[in-house]
Amino acid sequence: MADLLGSILSSMEKPPSLGDQETRRKAREQAARLKKLQEQEKQQKVEFRKRMEKEVSDFIQDSGQIKKKFQPMNKIERSILHDVVEVAGLTSFSFGEDDECRYVMIFKKEFAPSDEELESYRRGEEWDPQKAEEKRKLKVSYAGCPSRLAAYHLRGAGARPCTLLPYLCTPRSWPSSRRRRQPSRDLWW
């Protein structure tokens, strides 16, 4: 029993000596520096929030703007901006690939972006309403495609004929009823 107690006492650390006071002083200094850095970071976040509140307020008051794109920012800054925008009653979205390249776009509620516009921004493209209208017209013209392959028709910038059932998938040869019609001679391609 005495050997067990002796081994436990010998494995325990000894009380601090004068040399350990130096270690404690360094630890206190490091804790003070850490606290100071945390306070500076907190102050920077408060200043950033105030700056974003002012920019959002200016955006709301400017009747000529319907959307605003911000510079790329880190995750915490984007989070703060999304919070400010939500409180202001606007709509916001983040776009971009990498964490360093992600940016925020804000929109006024009455000018909320369409799904096509959001997809365009997600692909990294600029929104072009005229190009979107052309695509929308193509989608409408292929909405009745019997082969149900309308997505293949809309690849790229222009329409492409269906490769599986080409005689059924041209707008001029679509059957007007359920019965199958012979292909017309004036096919697209």
Does domain 44-127 fall into CATH 3.30.1370.50? yes
Q: What share of the chain is helix, strand, coil (3-state, %, to 5)?
A: 50, 5, 40
- Whether the predicted model's global pTM rises above the 0.75 cut: no
Predicted confidence (pLDDT) per residue in 125-157, tens digit: 787 778 777 777 776 555 555 444 444 444 443
| Domain residue limits, the chain | 44-127, 131-173
Closest by Cα among 180, 146, 151 to 166: 146
Q: What is the mean pLDDT of residues 16-23?
A: 70
The count of residues in the chain is 189
Predicted confidence (pLDDT) per residue in 49-98, tens digit: 999 999 999 999 988 888 999 999 999 999 999 999 999 999 999 988 87
8-state DSSP, 118: H
Closest by Cα among 70, 144, 141, 151 to 105: 70
